[in-house]
Amino acid sequence: MTDLDFEPPYLFPDYRATQMRAPRHELVRLPDEWFHQRRGPAFGRVPVSPGDADLTRQHRGEPLGERIILTGRVLDSDGRPVRHTLVEVWQANAAGRYVDPADTHPAPLDPNFTGAGRCLTDDAGVYRFVTVKPGAYPWRNHPNAWRPAHVHFSLFGPQLASRLVTQMYFPGDPLIPFDPILNSIADARGRDLLVARFDPETTEPEWALAYRWDVVLRGRDATPSES
Amino acid sequence: MTIPTPSQTVGPFFGFALPFEGDAHAVPPGSDGAVRIEGQVFDGAGEPVPDAIVEISDGDQFARCGTDREGAFHFTVRQTPHFDVLVFARGLLRHLATRLYLPEANLDGDSLLQMVEPERRHTLIASASEGGLRFDIHLQGDHETVFIQL
Ligand SMILES: [Fe+2]
């Protein structure tokens, strides 16, 4: 395992919802082979079809917004590609509104955009989605609180310790310095790991901008046998 | 660059994306050896957590269930001595991990339970209830579930 670790704390009072939800007892530390190195969840029942990776083609028409390609590699803690692992994404539409009924932000829904996608990484650990750039949206954490534009990611990987749910942000977003969720990660190097890079090479002329974001999961592919 | 990508909260708006058809049933209800596990997720004030999603796994079994307004979730799994359980929720910057033991499992000398204060061990053991098993998850508070450092 690596020495550097930029995980956010469970309790981060500036993100108010942590106050009643962060455990207060110390978490129990176990030898890695008891829990962390156990085989990750068998996600095979989760339905994934090729069309699920293109969020702009899930309805009759094309969604409004800036069309983007979102791609990158999923690596294990040794830097090796994590092949054929499940990647799930979800996001707000270009106006900053989720289709989720729990979202009451008075921005328009887009009848041509749901904002949920799935894919498996390929033999090189690469995932690739086509979507639109999500909008910023307000939340009630503090006065005038707005989330920077982000895409939610869920990844599995080879071991239980590999499981990761996180958020990907866009470079140059002026809301980033004000966001308690991203800034719960104390070290700027850790926050930078969640910001995608504009990728001119992958950008397709006359069609879509591209952003590249690589993900490193804990754990490695050679799962030791369990005791 | 092999620094693990940091975690961020699942947020409140995953309900249209993470659930899938039959997600709560690792095995079909009523199949051989199947058992229903149900429970609720509570916060430090004892309030139900309606925006959590719980995953349970063991070997080839995997199930996922978002909580409802009462913080309730349920699974159908094939019985095995214990399961790994992950909890994601708005307000959890990183998911929580715990272990669920079946009540009839032989727990004497279980090496994980030995590492937990005796008075908190019960938070890891499901109890028999009508129609299956019950396993509540307390994120915080007097009944706080024992969670595993990731
Ligand atoms: Fe979000």
Which residues have a Cβ under 8 Å from the Cβ of A130 and sit 6 or more positions away? A53, A54, A55, A56, A57, A67, A68, A69, A70, A208
Tell me the longest C-alpha to C-alpha distance in chain A.
56
pLDDT at A224: 44
Measured distance CA(B14)–CA(A102) in Å, rounded: 10
Residue B44 burial by Cβ neighbours in a 10 Å radius (0-12, 13-18, 19+): middle
DSSP 8-state code for residue A189: H
- The answer to whether residue B30 is domain-embedded is yes
DSSP sequence for A77-105: TTS-B-TT-EEEEE---TTS--SSTT---
What percent of chain A clears pLDDT 90, i.e. is strictly above it? 90
Q: What is the pLDDT of residue A2?
A: 46
Q: How far apart are CA A46 and CA A192, in angstroms?
A: 31
pLDDT in tens, A85-143: 999 999 999 999 999 999 999 999 999 999 999 999 999 999 999 999 999 999 999 99
- The count of structural domains within chain B is 1
**pLDDT interval class at A71 (50, 70, 90):** very high
The answer to whether residue B145 is domain-embedded is no
Q: Indicate yes or no: CB of B62 within 8 angstroms of CB of A42.
A: yes
| CA angle (A159, B149, B143) in 5-degree steps | 125
Across chain A, what does the average pLDDT equal?
94
Chain B interface, best mutation among A6, A16, A20, A21, by max B CB count within 10 A: A21
Model pLDDT, residue A210: 98
Domain membership of residue B8 (yes or no) is no
pLDDT tens for A3-15 read 578 999 999 999 9
Give me the amino acid identity at A150: H
Cα separation, B101 vs B122, whole angstroms? 9
H/E segment holding residue A68: strand A67-75
Read off the pLDDT of residues B132-148 as tens digits, 9 standing for 90 and up: 999 999 999 999 999 99
Is there a contact between B93 and A167 if contact means CB atoms under 8 Å apart?
no
Q: Best interface-test mutation with B: which of A18, A45, A58 has the largest number of B CBs within 10 A? A: A45
**What is the structure's pLDDT at A226?**
40
Three-state secondary-structure class, residue A126? strand
Residue B130 has a pLDDT of: 87
pTM exceeding the 0.90 threshold for the entire prediction:
yes
A145 membership: H or E segment, kind and range? strand A145-147
In a domain, B45, yes or no: yes
Confidence (pLDDT) at B2: 86
Q: Å from A11 to nearest chain B CA?
A: 8
Indicate whether B6 belongs to any domain: no
Minimum-distance CB partner of A17 among B90, B115, B150: B90
Find out whether A127 and A84 touch, Cβ atoms under 8 Å: no
Residues 55-94 of B with CB under 8 A from A: 55, 57, 59-62, 84, 86, 88-94
Given this model, what pLDDT does residue B60 score? 92
Q: Does any domain span residue B4?
A: no
Is A40 at the interface with chain B, CB within 8 A?
yes
Q: Does residue B66 sit within a domain?
A: yes
Give pLDDT, residue A209: 98
pLDDT at position A190 is 97
In terms of CA atoms, which chain A residue is nearest residue B22?
A45
Amino acid at A208: A
In single-letter form, the type of residue at position A185 comes to I
CB A180 within 8 A of CB A12: yes
Report the mean per-residue pLDDT for chain B.
Answer: 95
Type and span of the H or E element at A137: strand A137-139
- HEC secondary structure over chain B: CCCCCCCCCCCCCCCCCCCCCCCCECCCCCCCCEEEEEEEEECCCCCECCCEEEEEEECCEEEEEECCCCCEEEEEEECCCEEEEEEEECCCCCCEEEEEECCCCCCCCCCCHHHCCHHHHHHHECEEECCEEECCEECCCCCCCCCECC
What's the average model confidence in pLDDT over A26-39? 91
Residue B41 sits in a domain whose CATH number is 2.60.130.10
Q: What is the rounded average pLDDT of the residues A52-80? A: 97
| Chain A CB contacts of B12 below 8 Å | 100, 102-103
Question: Nearest Cβ partner of A35 from B11, B97, B120?
Answer: B97
CB A190 within 8 A of CB A167: no
Best A28, A139, A155, A164 residue to mutate vs chain B (most B CBs within 10 Å):
A28
Name the residue facing A8 among B7, B16, B111 (closest C-beta).
B7
B57 falls within a domain: yes
Give 10-residue mean pLDDT values along chain B (150 residues): 92 98 97 96 98 96 98 97 96 98 82 90 94 96 96
Mean pLDDT of all residues in A170-174: 98
Q: For residue A132, what is the DSSP state? A: E
**Chain B residues closer than 8 Å to A119 by CB:** none
Domain that holds residue B85: 13-138
